[in-house]
Amino acid sequence: MILPSFNELDSVQKSIFTEDNKNKNILIIGPPGTGKTIVAFHKALNLKNLGKKVILIMYNKVLLKYTKSTSAASNINLSTMHSWIYKMWRQSEKLEGSRPPVKDNNRFAIDWFKVLTDIKAINNKEDLEIINWGHMIIDEGQDFPDDMFFCLHFLTNHFKKHGLESTLTIFADENQVITENNARISSIEQHLGIVEGDNRKFCLTKNFRNTRQIANFAKHFMNADYYGTPVDPPNKSGPRPSILIYPKRQNNSQSLFKIKDPIFYPKIKKLIYQLPNKKYAIIIDGNNSDLENVYYSFAKLFEGSKFKVQGYINEHPKFELSVENLDFISDNTITILNKKSSKGTEFDIVFFIGIEQTKYDHTEGVDVMKNLFVISSRAKEQFYIVFGMIDEKEGMPAITKILPNPE
């Protein structure tokens, strides 16, 4: 991730740093490419330079690794929410047990109401200082559970009551929700105590990432326009997003990601060779086994070339598919991710594979639209949707009905 200097931020982005916001909980919303993560970094750096305690929370491990690729990352305390709260529980002798309370014995399902109860029982300033986050900045806030914001807001008041600085800054976009247990913008506002006219809610509107063509394509899948102000189109222009269609081989009953040497893999390779020295992503609509198959196929395809093929599967035993192996700095990297792991990242050229396997009906239409909104907006320069196994007798699948008109 390239971090522009503070002077390069636009006037709306700089307005977030005004003096009267420094000790208040604030909310920043905006569509993809408007610089939410960049502003989050600058706010964290600003607080750190003022000698404040600050932590920047990322939604998942891939986004955490992506943000660590900037040179400024070494100066900031970066963490996922899961890692941070487990560390907090280990640091405090006043919190019972070796881990935070969870629901249904699921270590990823934090019981936030129990967290609130346990911490509010501590009333000694010195003990609270150990676990007080100081200034917490949360990126991709819409993908965190609603009860988390309820808990964190009450805890900021508990810390302040004992003379400790404690604030929340939340960056979110409701159109980019990809989790089942998420928070709506209106709910986050309510939990942070934000009301109309108190200068604690900001909207970023300028798209600095995409071309105008990609931004228009992504906008087609926007679920709701709740930003409250018109979104400024990008200045950059480029090719329109493309749909690549390949027929199903005769008598082939295998699923898309189980096919040996699919005919469209060499076509993707050819496109990548025609557009060298970029950062590429292949985002799949599939499970971990599918991603593993795609990764090893492309690793073999580009073996001996200048291109590095890399992928990520959560808690995979092999280093080559671990988050530590991901390189978000170098060009000529081909990163293979599932749709959830791609959240918050950006690449020059993005290929999306597996859309024809997506079940599409009226009950799941909104989720499919949100996924396409998130995935297409990852691309800075070019975006391709690949239909890799179309049955010519049956025609195009129903999912194509939600794609925009080519014009």
Residue 364's pLDDT is 55
201-241 pLDDT per residue, tens: 999 989 999 999 999 999 998 876 666 677 788 989 999 99
In sequence order, what E strands does 149-264 have? Answer: 167-172, 201-203, 242-247
What pLDDT is attached to residue 360? 59
Q: Are 164 and 130 in contact (CB under 8 A)?
A: no
pLDDT confidence of residue 163: 95
User: Taking 60 as the threshold, does the pLDDT of residue 166 lie above it?
Assistant: yes
* pLDDT on residue 144: 94
pLDDT score, position 248:
78
Q: Tell me the two tokens of residue 338.
A: 């599932």
What confidence score (pLDDT) does residue 132 get? 95
Rounded to whole angstroms, the Cα distance separating 260 from 323 reads 26
* 318-333: average pLDDT: 94
CA dist 276 → 102, 190, 294 (Å): 47, 48, 21
Higher pLDDT, 359 or 146: 146
What is the pLDDT of the chain when averaged over all its residues?
Answer: 89
% the chain with pLDDT above 90: 59
What angle, rounded to 10 degrees, do the helices at 112-120 and 146-161 form?
A: 10
pTM: 0.91
Q: Cα torsion at 270, 274, 278, 279 (round to 10°)?
A: -20
pLDDT of 258 reads: 79
Nearest to 190 by CA among 136, 226, 149: 149
- Which residues, other chains included, contact 21 with Cβ-Cβ below 8 Å and sequence gap of 6+? 199, 200
* pLDDT for the residue numbered 251: 63
Question: Which pLDDT band, with edges at 50, 70 and 90, does 276 fall under?
Answer: very high
- Which positions ≥6 away from 322 have C-beta within 8 Å? 312, 316
- Average of pLDDT values for 377-401? 87
Residue with tokens 């390189």: 327
* Distance separating alpha carbons of residues 301 and 315, to the nearest angstrom: 25
- Compute the Cα dihedral for 199, 203, 206, 210 and give only its sign: positive
318 pLDDT tier (thresholds 50, 70, 90)? very high
pLDDT at 370: 85
Residue 36 pLDDT class (50, 70, 90 cuts): very high
Give the pLDDT confidence score for residue 365 in this predicted structure.
Answer: 57
- Strand 308-311 with 242-247, pairing: unpaired
pLDDT value at 381 more than 70: yes
- Pairing of the two strands 242-247 and 78-80: unpaired
Closest C-alpha to 137, from 22, 58, 227, 82: 58
Provide CB contacts within 8 A for 80, sequence distance 6+. Answer: 57, 58, 59, 60, 61, 64
Q: Angle at the Cα of 21 (from 16 to 24), degrees rounded to 5?
A: 125
CB 404 within 8 A of CB 215: no
Q: Provide the token pair at 396.
A: 């195009």
Number of helices followed by number of strands (H, E) in the chain: 12, 12
Residue 17's pLDDT is 81
Report residue 113 as tokens.
């109401």
pLDDT confidence of 164, banded at 50, 70, 90?
Answer: very high
Where is pLDDT greater, at 297 or 180? 297
